[in-house]
Structure 1
């Protein structure tokens, strides 16, 4: 928390990523200080071991929104395609029913790749690609990602 406060005070960032599972007092203090400094807050939750049930994913995203996040983010680890679909269903539910802010959702690893590509259809506003080494499991090469997302976008627009 102290490093973030120093960086906020010195104006060294545009966005601050705050892990929602930190102590509530720290989270609310950082959100408040970031907003006072004109810095947006990405509130995130990472589950590197599993994919929570759909209702729990939606609950966490709604909690991030209630805590004042400007961008809501959750990353989960799927065991199989069903877990990837669970995240995509949760993303759509949050986007279509509750979201007042942009969402960023992804399932990590090879079983989660589809979630990184389907955001335009499910409501996830952005994704991550890699240049060189990945910073998280399942990231796609940025050039390949751009091409694939463009292909999906064109197909979606043709069907509109």
Structure 2
């Protein structure tokens, strides 16, 4: 795997993936409550899905809360992610200009370690945010999420390659499988991309069918997997459960 260091974590470990846990609360209190529950379980990364935050239109409130999350997370790197509704995000009235301002403010304040931005956004926006994040030392994930289906293998491969061409530090592809063969397609595309891309990759298939990708995706080149801090949805595992399974699989594959 290709490797980059973010905070104290190495993205692209060979033995097993980093575990990322999302924050999806709507209110400030709910989000901080999530943080308090998740941090003791020591995930490797925490992702704040800011599109769910009820005060997302208030930049000052967003940055203030991001700073609190960062402080509470201590040494755990924090990902700042605003997911568009077209890619499975929460209902939000912000336009693209407002969303860009949020990302720029988050980078400038350095209250986050990584940002996750979709490649479906205008090329000019992607390029501008790439420059801003690089200038502020913030790692940039460029992502593609399909909440309807799993595209053909060629499309999946192209999404990984596109992220690298656009200058991403990490390329991320998430799909929705309709049958088990879709999961195999994603794993195969991830493995193929891992042989040609010079940046770390992240891939995942959602839902119950896709659960296997959370456990075995790293064996095919995915550097990060996702687990729920609490109340897992279909296809998700709790942090402690996933960590135990990954350790067993890693032992079986690598010995020791």
Cα distance in 2 for residues equivalent to 1:39 and 1:9: 9
- Which residue of the other structure, out of 36, 39, 51, is the alignment partner of 2:138? 39
Counterpart residue number, 2:16:
none
Cα distance in 2 for residues equivalent to 1:119 and 1:111: 13
Moved more, 4-13 or 140-149: 4-13
Cα contact 1:48–1:76 (8 A) shared by 2 = yes
Counterpart residue number, 2:204:
106
Counterpart residue number, 1:131:
229
Pairing 1:76-87 to 2, within 5 Å after superposition? 76-87=175-186
Cα contact 1:77–1:112 (8 A) shared by 2 = yes
Cα contact 1:120–1:153 (8 A) shared by 2 = no
Q: How many residues align?
A: 157
Pairing 1:11-160 to 2, within 5 Å after superposition? 11-96=110-195, 98-134=196-232, 138-158=235-255
SS at match of 1:93: helix
Structure 1: 4+ residue segments shifted above 6 A: none
Greater relative contact order (CA < 8 Å, ≥ 6 in sequence): 2
1:97-154 Cα deviation digits (max 9, x unpaired): x1211110000000001111112320111101111134x7522111110111011000
SS at match of 1:148: helix
1:8: how far off?
Answer: 1.5
Cα distance in 1 for residues equivalent to 2:221 and 2:104: 32
Gaps of 5+ in 1: none
Q: Which has the larger radius of gyration?
A: 2
Gaps of 5+ in 2: 1-99
Cα contact 1:72–1:101 (8 A) shared by 2 = yes
The structure with the greater share of residues assigned to helix is 1
SS at match of 2:231: coil
Q: Is 1:5 equivalent to 2:128 in the alignment?
A: no
Counterpart residue number, 2:3:
none
Cα distance in 2 for residues equivalent to 1:85 and 1:64: 21
Q: Give the TM-score normalised by structure 2.
A: 0.59
Cα distance in 2 for residues equivalent to 1:27 and 1:121: 30
SS at match of 2:183: helix
